[in-house]
Amino acid sequence: MKIILIGSFLDDWSTNNEMFKALQSLNHDVIKFDYRKDQKKPNFIYFIVDKFFSFGRRFDLISHLFINIYTSILGRKKIVRNVLKLIKKEEPDLIIVCKCDTLKIKTLEKYKDKLIYYFMDPLKMAKKIRTDINSSYCKYSISTFGKVSKNLMFSDHNRHYLQGVDKNIFNIKVPWEKRKDKIVFVANITTKRKKFINFFKKQSIPIDCYGLGWENSQIYLKDLNFLYNEYKYVLNLCQDNYGFSVRVQQAISSGCVVFSDYCQDFKTFTDLLRNFYSFNNQYDFKDLWNQRKNIFYSENIPDLSWSKIMNENFKWINSQ
């Protein structure tokens, strides 16, 4: 198929880059378009204006008006015109729109039957950028958070499914039994996370933290994979009670056992998340940690690659 993938590709660690490579590996003709690349950098006044209209999107009475203005400033009108030119030129079979919070998706509505709205952020972000409105212009929507898919996706057909990983990056390099008998936690600091980590340290549970606000800096891609390969265990703390980030799949694919606080989406993907143990609170985790001698990593895990995930998504689309 010929596919136009609209997303953000400037950062090496952007998930959209992994999606692009996976689609190519499946022998699709893929054209990527970065909807953020040519946006103008706002001066102070436009920065305030931009924030004002971005915030106003959240309120139902004015949401459509504010979205229309928000997606028309800072060169965004030109960006959507370029998207339309690209679609007209390439005549794709499918158009995948990844988040695209600053893009006026309504202008693509005439291509609705080809449009897939792809969203990989938690409920809080979905409410902020109005995925309910953005997805309504697309025939299909796929969200990696169940609560978002159920309540804030208004496409004709909605799907809740996992993010994938790049298996060329996240893989096993060091046998599990030769790794440190310690935990590594990779995520930016928050009040909730700091409370958990402080409890672990008071209980003399060995843990190293990486990310904004911790003793070690942020880490991504191959460096993250090498880090995971040093440790037997990875801690995951969900951003809300509903869903979890791709760090879980990255850690499992890197050969780690994952300990995570519980969220609703784990029930949906029980068959896919091997080497995974959930807990309800700090004390529950302490009991789990003390029983770790009975826990071993199994290499018999499902394929969590982006190639596999996108293949499953296309099967779902074809079945609608």
What's the average model confidence in pLDDT over 166-189?
96
pLDDT in tens, 133-176: 999 999 999 999 999 999 999 999 999 999 999 999 999 999 99
Our count of domains for the chain comes to 2
* Cβ count near 36 (within 10 Å): 18
Residue 169 lies in a domain: no
3-class DSSP state of 24 = helix
153 and 194 in a common domain: no
Q: For residue 243, what are the CA distances in angstroms to 144, 264, 268, 306?
A: 8, 6, 10, 19
pLDDT band at 46 (very low <50, low <70, confident <90, very high): very high
pLDDT value of residue 242 = 85
- Tell me if 300 is assigned to some domain: no
Q: How confident is the model at residue 318, as a pLDDT?
A: 97
Q: Does one domain contain both 160 and 231?
A: no
What pLDDT is recorded for position 314?
Answer: 98
pLDDT at residue 304, as a whole number: 93
User: How far is it, in rounded angstroms, from Cα 26 to Cα 2?
Assistant: 11
Nearest by Cα to 145 from 236, 7, 243: 243
In whole angstroms, what separates CA 197 from the centre of its chain? Answer: 24
pLDDT number for residue 271: 75
Same domain, 151 and 190: no
Residue 278 lies in a domain: yes
* Residue 103: count of CB within 10 angstroms of its CB: 22
- Structural domain contains residue 41: yes
- Same domain membership, residue 44 and residue 136: yes
**Same domain, residue pair 124 and 42:** yes
311 and 265 fall within a common domain: no
Q: Greatest CA separation found in the chain?
A: 62
Domain extent for 10: 2-164+307-319
Lowest-pLDDT range of 38-47, 152-161, 229-238: 38-47
Distance CA 234, CA 299 (A): 16
Amino acid making up residue 315:
K
Look at residue 302 and tell me if it is in a domain.
no
- Mean pLDDT, the chain, rounded, equals 95
The CATH number of residue 211's host domain is 3.40.50.720
- The CATH number of the domain where 96 resides is what? 3.40.50
Token match 């046998």: residue? Answer: 175
Specify if 170 maps to a domain.
no
Q: What is the rounded distance in angstroms from the CA atom of residue 249 to the CA atom of residue 245?
A: 8
Same domain for 90 and 9: yes
User: Does some domain include residue 132?
Assistant: yes
Domain match, 247 and 154 both? no
Q: Quick one: 137 and 190 in the same domain?
A: no
**pLDDT of 272 higher than 80:** no
Same domain as 35, residue 66: yes
25/45 same-domain check: yes
Q: Do the domain assignments include residue 171?
A: no
185 and 274 together in one domain = yes
Residue carrying the six token digits 């969220």: 263
What are the backbone dihedrals phi and psi of residue 83, each rounded to the nearest 5 degrees, phi first? Answer: -65, -45
Which is nearest to 111 in space by CA: 88, 78, 81?
Answer: 88
